[in-house]
Amino acid sequence: MIRINLLGQPRPKATRAAVPLEATLQIVFLVIAVVAALGFLWLHWWQMDRDLRTKQRDINRLQGERAQLEQLKVQIETFKAQKRVLEQRIAIIEELQRNRTGGRELLDMVATTVTRTDALWLTSLTRKGNSLTFEGSAASINAVANFITQLKRSGYFQKVEIKESKQDERNTAVQTFVFTLMAEIALPQSKAPAAAPPAKKG
C-alpha cells in the first residue's frame, strides 16, 4: 500500500534507546577485572610452575648426590674392613717378629751361660712368648746364684727371678739342689749397639 503525506510535514526519524554511561563503565571495569584476574592467575601459575621445576631439579640433584654418598659409604666400609684385616695381619707379623728371637741364637746363649757356671745342669727349658722357664739342678745354692748372675750379664735376658730352689730329696747319695727360674728375653732389636772403643791417639 502506498502512503501519501498530504500535510507536507517531514516524517520523524526512528530514535534508538541510549545506553546509560554507568552501565558502560561497569562493563568496562568488569572486563578489566576479569582480564587482571586471569593475568594474576597466569602469573601465579607460572611462578609456581617455575618453583616446582626448580625444586624438582634440586630433588634430582640431591638424589644423585645421595646415590654417590651411598657408593662412597660402601667403599669406605670396604676400606675399613680391609684396614682391619691388614691391621690384624700386621699385628700378627709384629708379634711373630717380637717372638722371632732366633732359636739357635737363644740356645747358643743359654749353652754359653750354662758352661760359664760350674756344677749346674739344665733339665728343661720352656718358652712362652718372651718368657723363659729354666729348670735344672746344681751342686749348691751358690751355683744357682752364679747362673742367675751369668744370665743377667749376658744382656740377653732380663727380669731374672728364682721361683723355687730346694734340695733334691730323691738323690740322697749326693747333695744336689733343684731350681726353677723365670726370665724374659731381651729382644736384639731393642738393645742398643755397643759403642766402639775410642781410637788411641798416636
What pLDDT, on the 0 to 100 scale, is given for residue 18?
57
Residue finishing a domain among 100, 121, 148 = 100
Residue finishing a domain among 44, 71, 100 = 100
Please check whether residues 80 and 112 belong to one and the same domain: no
Tens digit of each residue's pLDDT (9 = 90 or more) over 159-169: 889 888 888 77
Query: What's the whole-number average pLDDT of the chain?
Result: 79
Supply the pTM of this predicted model. 0.43
Into how many domains does the chain fold? 2
Burial, 158: exposed, middle or buried (Cβ in 10 Å; 0-12, 13-18, 19+)? middle
Structural domain including 166 reads 103-187
Reference 156, options 102, 93, 94; nearest CA is 102
